Structure 1
Amino acid sequence: MSAREVRSREQWAALADEMLVAVRPYASPHQALITLPGAPGGYGTAVDGLEGFARTFLLAGFRLAGERGADPLNLAEQYAAGLAAGTDPSSPERWVRPEEHGQAKVEAASLALILDMTRPWIWDALDGGVQERIVDYLSSVVGDRGYPRTNWLWFRVVVETFLRSVGGPWSAEDLEHDLALHESFVRADGWLSDGEGRSYDHYVGWALHLYPVLWARMQGTLADDDRRARDVARLDRYLQDAVRLVGADGSPLLQGRSLTYRFAAAAPFWAGAIAGVPSTPVGQLRRAASSIVTHFVQHGVPDDDGLLTLGWHGAWRPLVQSYSGPGSPYWAAKGMLGLALPADHPAWTTDEEPLPVEVADDLVAVAAPGWIVSGTHDDGVVRVVNHGTDHALEGSLGGDSPLYARLGYSTATAPLLDDEAWAEPFDQAVVLLDADGRSTHRSGMTLLECAASDGVGVAASRAVAHRLQVDPTAQAHGSGRVGAAEPVGTLTVVSVVRGAWEVRAVRVDDADEGLTLRSAGWPLSGEHELLPDGVRGDRLTSLLVADGATTQVRVDKDAGPLAPWTATPWACVPAVVGRWWVGAVCLAQHPSAPPVAVAAAEQLTVTWADGRVTTTALPIPQED
């Protein structure tokens, strides 16, 4: 593991320049396509080459803007040549156009954003004919109703805003529609959902909060003072939660799709610095961003060739979605947005301030995604206990996505992500098993409670436990699998969280006979098979204790991106209708003694290792 740190602006700039130089051997003769090594993505080599150009163009643009045009690497000349060739219909390097492939709509936004940000050094220096071709290339998005109803709305907003600034075509109706769609995604406490479902992940920060801040600064923006203030207020509140989701070692939360974008997770912290949010100190924002990038650099990212691979630390292809190609990881450039700020900006001149988990134990409830967030100072790990996020709609009966629907995520563990994990939930899941060992899914659950007080968090959810006959032909982009669902019972799960421990109470109702109830804990990964004493790794231990059951350990190989081996503790009991079953799970460096919990008279009483006693009202069974 490297000891290299990325803290000062000089260190950030050095990393960016190394990344930009490393991709140059993979550029086409006229620089329009950067096709990086590796198997083609699901959209083909032409899209891969466009992604390689557009996403590294983001990083090049940040460097130019932050240096006020100083350009020792000749980035402006390199990318201007690519712009000319990519938009030339007669060039063998011509780009796939937005009307030809949806992914080009994504990349068009990066082109427009950087052309605006670096206007004096690239756009203004382009030949008039090249400018006309770029306008023609981008203008096909105007009036296009084929955009998904997700964060993609910002790709069109950014493109049309740039077009408006250079006298190109644009549509007030498009912008009104897209901005209204953005407003429909707004949830409590500054959070947004990436679409109509309960889609809470890194896209909240690196897309839905990032683009409003950058759009408000584009020359063609229609953002008025009220909208700017509203967007900044939401970002300000969101960041108060987001800084709590970074581990002391700089790892972001391993949850949600597109994790191969890695340190793009730093983007909202730079957005906060640019916007001047009042509630989170700029030194803490930079600390979060620098810690995230340093975490990856110290784990071999970029690789020995200076390239970003498809994976998390090292290359691990199962982490990514089917459409991802070798250029896709360069959306990580978003996390280096801070380089667009000059050296004399307060974000760079202010000393770093520690993250919450670096100061003390930290526990909060986050209402929108239904999360209890618990960070422990002793080991620096941040854990999320999840009762409200599944990348689906409440009441739906799809499959559980390991990236969204598990009961727990952390900065030190990754969910199991092999093929079996998508079909049969195991780690951090409470399920009903039939005689053949088939497990149920909980996607579509109802969030019942999410609150925290005096260092204790309580969250609860109720789900129709359903088996799923997976449709093997359906495409999945991070959501759970689809297929025919068969309800077999109702599961109510209550989590009481304090420090590294979660007490988990489970009630079974309306269930078929002969079922088994299984609860599993944190999946802990290591370079070697982990010891089954609890599950002990090199630093952390994963524990599960359960009322009336013997804890067992399942070991999986090559099922996650962190290390070759993953071990998960679990326990089973017969499913008894109407009875609360109680257990506890823990992920810690130095676990305390397990809490003792008793469910009786519609109340869960927990006696913690230090003698503190807490009581929690249990949900009343659902009426038919």
Structure 2
Amino acid sequence: MNTLALPAEDRDRSPHTGYTRGHWEAAADGLLAAAWRWASPHGARLDLPGRPSRSGVRSDGLEGFARTLLAAAFRVAGADGADPHGWLGRYADGLAEGTRTPGADDAESWPLILDHHVQGQPMVESASIALGLRLSRRWLWDHLDPAVQDRVAGWLRGALRAVPAPNNWYLFPYTVAGFLESVGRGDAETSRARQRALDLLETWYRGQGWYADGDGRAFDHYNGWALHLYPVLDAHLRGESTVHGDRLSEHLASFSLLFGGDGAPIHQGRSLTYRFAAGAAVALGAVTGHTPLAPGVSRRLLSGCLRYFLDRGALDANGLLSLGWHGPHEPTLQHYSGPASPYWASKAFVCLLAPADHPLWTDTELAAPSEGPDRVVGLAAPGLLVQTTGADGIVRLHNHGSDHVRPHEGESAEDDDPHYGRLAYSTRTGPTSVGNPADNHFAVVVGDVRSVRRRIHPLGAGHGAGWGWAASWHRPVFRPGPPMVPGLRVESAVVARGRCELRVHRVVGAPEGARVELTGWAVGDEEQLVSALHPLHGWTGQDVVRAPGGTAFTPWARVPRLTAAASGSAVYVALAALTAEPEPPALDAVVTEVTVDAEHVAVRWAADGALTRIAFTPFVVTHS
């Protein structure tokens, strides 16, 4: 439950969440107060309790300092310097102590910023410190002793000289350079760091407001809380207009659909323990004006997301953000996650840069996009299909374009990532963990070894009135045993209408004796959700498997499954559904006719007689 001291709800101005700007200020203050209980003697590190990350306790302590500084900076800058709790004075002391002897093995000194593969985490934190200093310059940086300013600037410059990870990390030196230039310390080095990041952003931009996180095809929440946040906020602070603002606005047109009626963001991708940072892009759009959303919609999404986590145990007994989703949840984490990692959630407090008289806070809260009519939106650029149902507020994200395989990497089943490889994700369910039966997965089974889906090759996505589709193909990989079967290929397509998902798979080159399996959504007994999976063609077996490791939403889950023999080439067709409706219609009445041959699938829908046709070569989806 929420342990913060929050003001009374305002259901007149905020009929959906009750939250106002005062709630955001109180949340920032509460999170800061809890974190500062664990400060080092002179305040240079916040050594939060918990198992250390792979970077070690000194880096973790810097992480606590840097990420909470970001929250404090948004809080104070948004109040035009008002700092009733004296946060910035504490950070001033910490800046002086942390940079006195960088790299020293003591209770205060910050680690040096080195290459990402050597000691990279401090580079991440340098961006939060630089951005925090830039936001609060008049009340913090400008009051530091000149010698301290020199030491801080010298430490930050390490980010300009070390090698970032080949993804959004290039925006960390970009942000450091932006701060240094804003205080008159720019030079050729800062200019190079900024231009390098902007050049890379252009190569990562895929269209429709979506960036890949690096040279591969990783599309996830890093779009909002990094790839859009840093360049758009930088331009806003410079008073400039750039193409990045227009891209943010286009991004929010689809990304705003990825918040459920209960406020939950979509549970997909890495670093999900950052939780309500998922709202950072929505907040930034409202602050800068680069948004298609009405102010009341933006606040609904932001406050709904914050309240969703506060009401579901995101804070531990010490008032700290735990490592997990609702509460602690190990499978949600990455190897770089440490006790202070969840405090990248501070990015959501960018909303406080909108003053109290801004429409973001004064307009009446409106319904979230997912609370309106059912919608299906196909996004060809990232290869995603968004499906929302207003009756239960559930958002489903069908994944036919986002994976976690970089261009130079081979495909290995050992690197299977449930948060990227599954066919679908939602705001009410999470993927089952490795070692449990996989949800929303099509597997080829060879010698009792189930394949995993690694590199995803999109075949397209689109939508029409009341329906949409997305498709992809992949080469199944296996562990243990030979990693691949030569010539084996799986083509997958989904067509969404209302709460229904038509799932079509064509297997090419299956070896003799192989089997295939398709699973649906993983749900627990206490969740009041219905997960259904109904065979239409090719499937011969049907059962329910157990996932005792549960998901981020339930400690124990069931997963519906279809099975069949496979040899050579064959097509398999099924209907799936996830719903919170108390008595949903049975799937066996949704379709009246299914016609399948080696190159085509045709399905007629009972509700209106519409015909969906899928052709495999070339791949084309039509609906009429």
Tell me the TM-score normalized by structure 1: 0.90
SS of corresponding position for 2:218: coil
Aligned positions of 1:146-161 closer than 5 A: 146-161=163-178
Rounded to whole Å, the distance in 1 between the matches of 2:443 and 2:608 is 31
Rounded to whole Å, the distance in 1 between the matches of 2:616 and 2:355 is 54
> Residue 65 of structure 2: which of 19, 40, 53 is its match?
53
- The answer as to whether partners of 1:557 and 1:565 remain within 8 angstroms in 2 is yes
- The answer as to whether partners of 2:520 and 2:560 remain within 8 angstroms in 1 is yes
Deviation at 1:267, TM superposition (A): 0.2
| 1:208 correspondence with 2:223 | no
| 1:453 correspondence with 2:464 | yes
Rounded to whole Å, the distance in 1 between the matches of 2:477 and 2:488 is 7
Q: Give the letter for the 1:401 counterpart.
A: D
Q: Give the letter for the 1:542 counterpart.
A: S
Residues 544-581 of structure 1: CA deviation (Å, up to 9, x unaligned): 11144332111122342222111111011011433322
Deviation at 1:342, TM superposition (A): 1.7
Compared with structure 1, are the counterparts of its residues 350 and 487 closer, same or farther at alpha carbon in structure 2 (3 Å cutoff)?
farther
Residues 69-99 of structure 1: CA deviation (Å, up to 9, x unaligned): 1111011111111111111117740111213
| 1:495 correspondence with 2:508 | no
Deviation at 1:297, TM superposition (A): 1.1
> Residue 180 of structure 1: which of 156, 175, 199 is its match?
199
> Residue 419 of structure 2: which of 384, 403, 421 is its match?
403
- The answer as to whether partners of 1:467 and 1:487 remain within 8 angstroms in 2 is no
Rounded to whole Å, the distance in 2 between the matches of 1:300 and 1:92 is 31
2:532 corresponds to: 543
2:124 corresponds to: 106
Q: Give the letter for the 2:603 counterpart.
A: V
Rounded to whole Å, the distance in 2 between the matches of 1:118 and 1:205 is 23
Rounded to whole Å, the distance in 2 between the matches of 1:589 and 1:345 is 36
2:262 corresponds to: 249
> Residue 438 of structure 1: which of 449, 453, 463 is its match?
449
Rounded to whole Å, the distance in 2 between the matches of 1:559 and 1:321 is 18
2:137 corresponds to: 119
Rounded to whole Å, the distance in 1 between the matches of 2:266 and 2:23 is 24
2:13 corresponds to: none
| 1:17 correspondence with 2:29 | yes
2:51 corresponds to: 39
Deviation at 1:497, TM superposition (A): 1.1
Higher mean Cα deviation, 271-280 or 327-336? 271-280
Rounded to whole Å, the distance in 2 between the matches of 1:379 and 1:508 is 34
Rounded to whole Å, the distance in 2 between the matches of 1:79 and 1:350 is 34
Residues 26-62 of structure 1: CA deviation (Å, up to 9, x unaligned): 0011111101111111111001100011001111111
- The answer as to whether partners of 1:468 and 1:485 remain within 8 angstroms in 2 is no
Rounded to whole Å, the distance in 2 between the matches of 1:141 and 1:446 is 35
Deviation at 1:169, TM superposition (A): 5.4
Compared with structure 1, are the counterparts of its residues 393 and 448 closer, same or farther at alpha carbon in structure 2 (3 Å cutoff)?
farther
Compared with structure 1, are the counterparts of its residues 169 and 102 closer, same or farther at alpha carbon in structure 2 (3 Å cutoff)?
farther
Count of aligned pairs: 588
The alignment yields a C-alpha RMSD, in angstroms, of: 2.2
SS of corresponding position for 2:82: coil
Aligned positions of 1:373-522 closer than 5 A: 373-392=386-405, 397-399=411-413, 400-417=416-433, 419-420=434-435, 426-435=438-447, 437-469=448-480, 484-487=483-486, 489-522=488-521
Rounded to whole Å, the distance in 1 between the matches of 2:595 and 2:219 is 31
Compared with structure 1, are the counterparts of its residues 312 and 614 closer, same or farther at alpha carbon in structure 2 (3 Å cutoff)?
same
Residues 186-226 of structure 1: CA deviation (Å, up to 9, x unaligned): 012111010111100000111001111211134xx5x8x5x
Rounded to whole Å, the distance in 1 between the matches of 2:226 and 2:429 is 24
Aligned positions of 1:235-314 closer than 5 A: 235-314=248-327
Rounded to whole Å, the distance in 2 between the matches of 1:551 and 1:150 is 42
Rounded to whole Å, the distance in 1 between the matches of 2:457 and 2:178 is 39
Deviation at 1:317, TM superposition (A): 2.1
Q: Give the letter for the 1:607 counterpart.
A: R
- The answer as to whether partners of 1:397 and 1:485 remain within 8 angstroms in 2 is no
- The answer as to whether partners of 2:429 and 2:552 remain within 8 angstroms in 1 is no
Deviation at 1:517, TM superposition (A): 1.0
| 1:564 correspondence with 2:555 | yes
- The answer as to whether partners of 2:44 and 2:93 remain within 8 angstroms in 1 is yes
Q: Give the letter for the 2:198 counterpart.
A: L
Deviation at 1:143, TM superposition (A): 3.6
Q: Give the letter for the 2:180 counterpart.
A: L
SS of corresponding position for 2:595: strand
Compared with structure 1, are the counterparts of its residues 45 and 459 closer, same or farther at alpha carbon in structure 2 (3 Å cutoff)?
same
Rounded to whole Å, the distance in 2 between the matches of 1:6 and 1:82 is 36
1:95 corresponds to: 110
Rounded to whole Å, the distance in 2 between the matches of 1:469 and 1:169 is 53
Deviation at 1:359, TM superposition (A): 1.6
Structure 1: tracts of 5 or more residues without a match: 471-482, 531-536
Tell me the TM-score normalized by structure 2: 0.90
Q: Give the letter for the 1:619 counterpart.
A: F
- The answer as to whether partners of 1:501 and 1:584 remain within 8 angstroms in 2 is yes
Rounded to whole Å, the distance in 1 between the matches of 2:264 and 2:486 is 37
Q: Give the letter for the 1:217 counterpart.
A: H
2:358 corresponds to: 345
Structure 2: tracts of 5 or more residues without a match: 3-7, 10-16, 620-624
Rounded to whole Å, the distance in 1 between the matches of 2:463 and 2:233 is 34
